[in-house]
Amino acid sequence: MIRSYKDEIQSIKDRDPAATSTLEILTYSGLHAVAMYRVAHWFYLKNLKFVARVISQTARFLTGIEIHPGAKIGKGLLIDHGAGVVIGETAEIGDNCLLYQGCTLGGTGKDQGKRHPTLGNNVMVGCGAKVLGPFKVGDNSKIAANAVVLESVPPNCTAVGVPAKVVKQNGKRTLDLDQVHMPDPVSQELCKERIELERLKKRVEELEKLIGQEGR
């Protein structure tokens, strides 16, 4: 447990440019939340689940970060800023992962048993992102801010959007997802209706001509 605590401190030193000293890092709420999770997880494994839950809820009250004591977390986890982060009971997090504020590793409410996602090693989950369901996000992948991930993400990928789509894999773009110049769905529907009206108008004109010719 002490070794894990040291790994978290070193992870913050390596990846957080705002961290200027170990003393400052010791004030980080993300570090406190992970440290208290590890204590709670130890009690959880000893089947002292009430004690584990009391510790995790105390951590939630103090840090604003909720980590279920049943979750499995590897070494070097960095929760940056951290407010609003939620990690579910059956979630699994690999080594050296990075979670930003407001992200959720949750379930959809439809699954039994394994209900929450598994993150590989070196995964980044952006602020406000929701990863929901019992699937895996592969090693070295990145989830963009506010993305909603509902299916597995291969290794070395970047997933963006709602629902999230893989836009880059192994450094190569796989989908041109322009989130600025998006098509207007209302205009598209109006255009479809106009085309359909034109088609019907021509059909009516053809029928009128046909009726007129038969009348002669």
- pLDDT tens for 156-202 read 999 998 888 888 888 777 655 554 555 566 677 788 888 889 889 98
**pLDDT for residue 174:** 66
Q: What is the residue-wise DSSP string for 36-49?
A: HHHHHHHHHHTT-H
Instruction: Name residue 64's amino acid.
Output: G
Does 30 have pLDDT greater than 90? Answer: no
* pTM greater than 0.85 (yes/no): no
**Could you tell me if 164 and 157 are in contact, meaning their C-beta atoms sit under 8 angstroms apart?**
no
Side-chain-side CA neighbours of residue 91 (13 Å): 24
How far is 84 from 87, CA to CA, in rounded Å? 10
pLDDT in tens, 111-140: 788 999 999 999 999 999 999 999 999 999
Token pair 């990690």: residue? 87
Across 26-30, 35-39, 51-55, least confident range? 26-30
Q: Which two tokens stand for residue 117?
A: 């996602």
From 145, 156, 120, select the one nearest 135 (Cα to Cα).
120
Residue 82's Cβ-count burial label (10 Å; 0-12, 13-18, 19+) is buried
**pLDDT for residue 122:** 93
Going along the chain, which residue ranges are E strands?
66-67, 72-73, 78-80, 86-87, 92-93, 98-100, 104-106, 118-119, 124-125, 130-132, 136-137, 142-143, 148-149, 157-160, 165-169, 172-173
CA angle 119, 120, 122 (to 5 degrees): 105
pLDDT in tens, 64-107: 999 999 999 998 888 988 889 999 999 999 999 999 999 999 98
- Reported as a pLDDT band with limits 50, 70 and 90, residue 213 is confident
- Reported as a pLDDT band with limits 50, 70 and 90, residue 152 is very high
Across 15-19, 53-57, 86-90, 122-126, least confident range? 15-19
